[in-house]
Amino acid sequence: MARQIISRFSFLIALSLLGGCATVATNTSQTFDTVVVDAGHGGKDSGAWRRSGPPEKAVALDVALRVDKKLRDSQLKTVMTRNNDVFIPLDTRVDIGNQQANAIFVSIHFNDSRRSGVQGFETYYHSPYAFDLAAAIERNLSTLPGSINRGVHTARFRVLRNLRYPSVLVECGYLSNRSERREAGNADYREQLADKIAEAIVNYRYGTDAYRRSNAMVARAGGGASIAPAFR
């Protein structure tokens, strides 16, 4: 927690030193009516991948599609940078995002590490205006049973620093970790991930308890299908 406060503070100092320089994003964090949902990787870019599980591009897309639906069910407008297995350059993702008038940008990824024991959720931001949203998503994901909160961090990823309004990137667990890889391959678990991300966004925008979980979500109980065999 201390690190989050320090990194936020240092960004506010950096912001004041910039003195309103054009690189600072517009603060739509309290007003946005559109969420740009960005599924990481796609097409020739598989992202993180291990032989015994689905590639990052497939599980990131699946979670993103679920987040997209939940946000639309909550009366937010959405734009997806991709909704199938296609390669989209990073700058195109940024362009799609920056074409929206009053939006935030949420990028969905899964993580990778050479150390198979590393696990947990991480959320990244660049604009100081995006910190609270990043923290809200990280905090909400960390309410999933057995989850590990690896914190909120700043990063200079292109989809964070080139957006003209608040942008966050969510790492939904490590595909290099056997346990999180198995969970990522489970549709019910991906539904829970999407639910936590959507809940954090909706409650951040409209206030605590604004999010209404769908009846289908409440009725679900274990044993969902795995990711499509085509992605194995």
| Residues at the interface with Zn ion (CB under 5 A) | 40, 47, 109
Phi/psi for 192 (5° steps) reads -65, -40
Q: How far is the CB of 112 from Zn ion (least distance, A)?
A: 7
Nearer to Zn ion, 110 or 129 (CB): 110
The distance of Cα 221 from the centroid of its chain, to the nearest Å, equals 24
CB burial of 197-211 (b: ≥16 within 10 Å; e: otherwise) equals bbbbbbbbbeeeeeb
Q: How far is the CB of 158 from Zn ion (least distance, A)?
A: 12
Residue 135: partners with Cβ closer than 8 Å, 6 or more residues away: 4, 123, 152
Q: How far is the CB of 174 from Zn ion (least distance, A)?
A: 11
Nearer to Zn ion, 40 or 97 (CB): 40
Q: How far is the CB of 175 from Zn ion (least distance, A)?
A: 9
| CA distance readout (Å), 222 to 96, 177, 191 | 36, 22, 11
Taking the C-alpha atoms of residue 123 and residue 160, their distance in angstroms, rounded to an integer, is: 11
Nearer to Zn ion, 47 or 173 (CB): 47
The DSSP symbol for 199 reads H
Nearer to Zn ion, 112 or 132 (CB): 112
Nearer to Zn ion, 35 or 108 (CB): 108
Q: How far is the CB of 172 from Zn ion (least distance, A)?
A: 10
Taking the C-alpha atoms of residue 152 and residue 89, their distance in angstroms, rounded to an integer, is: 25
